[in-house]
Amino acid sequence: MDGNGKEHQQPKQQQPPSPSKPLPSRPTTITLPPRSFTETFFSSGPGTMGFSPGPMTLLSSFFSDSDDCKSFSQLLAGAISSPNSKPPDDFSRPSNLTIAPPAPMFAMPLGLSPVSLPDSPGFGLFSPQGFGMTHQQALAQVTAQAAQANSIMHVQPEYSTPEISSTFTNNSAAHQQQQMVRSVADSGVKIQELSDFSQPDQRPESSSLAVDKPAKDGYNWRKYGQKHLKGSEFPRSYYKCTHPSCPVKKKVERSLDGQVTEIIYKGQHNHQPLQSNKRGKDTGGLNGNPNSQGSSELASRFQSGSGNVSEVRERKDQASSQATPEHVSGMSDSEEAGGEIDEDEPDPKRRTTEVRATETASSHRTVTEPRIIVQTTSEVDLLDDGYRWRKYGQKVVKGNPYPRWFSLLHRL
């Protein structure tokens, strides 16, 4: 069939990292917990970012079937805008917080918003110029957002159940969030988002709309396989970009009710995204979306190569109740992220971008502590992020050779 020849060129590319390999530089991972969406956060921003669904919007596949459904961006929005950030509860938190030295991984307080950031060069993350930023710059911006959130929302030491605003479906906000994620991703920061929605009424209505279709991210995808992975209650579908010679693939996991639980993008598009008027059936999710144009932009970014995006993962995890730090990372940090780096990048120092959105697939889950985790490839990454962090916990994550530090951005 199509791409068969290419297919044979791909296998090696996707091989996981060899365990025998020396530990690659640690990828930066940001885990964004699902948080309540603060409307004001996004309504106050420029809102002209042109956010759009794209390769990074795994959400799109998850929610694209219905505009009413939350997108990854939206999840992210909720994740980063909530003042209810809560640190993992499975480790002790020092009563008197101290500024922690850079750590391979840290948790960020929620409440950051791209649109709430000052329109300064430093926040180029959300501007076109931001695409060229370095990983550290991106990281700094992410953290800056957290800081901003803190300054605005006064991060609360005590965490309460997040509330999802009805405006959570605000496209602009969602896109902004998405852009943030994308930008961060492009900069090489590995981002993970964990979204745990506990409110039954906030469940995406995609259940009934669930269609086994790839995300409307500006590209056409063709499903070439499906498999039920061991240990996973949901089947995983494999998609390829239909564009000739385009090596991009993505894996999509959907729950039984059709909700996307995880999307993993691999590779970079070597072509321009489809034009809105040329998109096929898959464009449905973008229809009527004023920001849909952004998908092309995002897609372009995705395929530009500058983003070093070898894998973007968005996940909606039904196991919200298990969203402990260990679960946040899900896999071994060094193992999974490092592998991606190796496979797509000759330079081991090149960071892999991974975006992972996790959300409980059940609408009856109880709230779990959402969090943002930034896993850096090196301590320097955090040292240079330009912000001060207060460590409130540390934990050795199974499978991860590096201790995970949990820090809160020092209030500005």
Partner DNA sequence: AGCCTTTGACCAGCG
Partner DNA sequence: TCGCTGGTCAAAGGC
Shortest Å, Cβ 244 to DNA: 10
Q: Is residue 305 involved in binding DNA (CB under 7 A)?
A: no
Question: Is there binding between residue 8 and DNA (CB under 7 A)?
Answer: yes
Q: Give 236 or 350: the residue with its C-beta nearer to DNA.
A: 236
Q: Which residue has the tokens 């981002």?
A: 191
Instruction: State which of residues 39, 151, 207, 222 lies at the interface with DNA (CB under 7 A).
Output: 222
Q: Say whether residue 213 binds DNA (CB under 7 A).
A: yes
Q: Are 188 and 355 in contact (CB under 8 A)?
A: no
* Binding residue for DNA, selected from 93, 209, 224, 388, defined by CB under 7 A: 224
Is residue 236 a contact residue for DNA (CB under 7 A)? Answer: yes
Smallest separation (angstroms) from DNA to the CB of 29 = 18
β-pairing verdict for 189-193 and 28-32: parallel
Question: With respect to DNA, which residue has the nearer C-beta, 168 or 265?
Answer: 265
Site for DNA in 274-303 (CB under 7 A): 280
Q: 170 or 220: whose CB is closer to DNA? A: 220
Does residue 237 bind DNA (CB under 7 A)?
Answer: yes
Q: Say whether residue 19 binds DNA (CB under 7 A).
A: yes
| 18 sits near DNA (criterion: CB under 7 A) | yes
92 binds DNA (CB under 7 A): no
Minimum distance from residue 285 beta carbon to DNA (Å): 13
| 231 φψ region: left (φ > 0), alpha (ψ -120 to 50), beta (else) | left
Residues numbered 243 to 272 that lie near DNA (CB under 7 A) are: 249, 251
- 239 binding DNA? (CB under 7 A): yes
Closer residue to DNA (CB): 253 or 359: 253
Q: How many residues bind DNA (CB under 7 A)?
A: 36
Considering the rule CB under 7 A, would residue 135 count as an interface residue with DNA?
no
Residue type, 365: R
Minimum distance between the CB of residue 292 and DNA, rounded to whole angstroms?
19
Determine if 7 is a binding residue for DNA (CB under 7 A). Answer: yes
As a whole number of angstroms, the distance between CA 61 and CA 262 comes to 9
Least distance from C-beta 74 to DNA, angstroms? 24
Of 8-16, 78-86, 166-174, 363-371, the window that binds DNA (rule: CB under 7 A) is 8-16
Q: Which of 229, 256, 383, 396 binds DNA (CB under 7 A)?
A: 229
Interhelix angle for 135-153 vs 171-186, to 10°?
A: 140
Phi-psi category of 115—alpha, beta or left, where left has phi over 0 and alpha has psi -120 to 50? Answer: alpha
- Does 313 interact with DNA (rule: CB under 7 A)? no
Stretch that binds DNA, among 120-128, 236-244, 309-317, 347-355 (CB under 7 A): 236-244
- Shortest CB 79 distance to DNA, Å: 25
**Does 214 interact with DNA (rule: CB under 7 A)?**
yes
Q: How far is the CB of 344 from DNA (least distance, A)?
A: 13
**With respect to DNA, which residue has the nearer C-beta, 91 or 224?**
224
Name which of 249 and 390 has its Cβ closer to DNA.
249
Residue ranges in contact with DNA by CB under 7 A: 1, 3-4, 7-8, 10-12, 14-16, 18-19, 212-214, 220-227, 229-232, 236-239, 242, 249, 251, 280
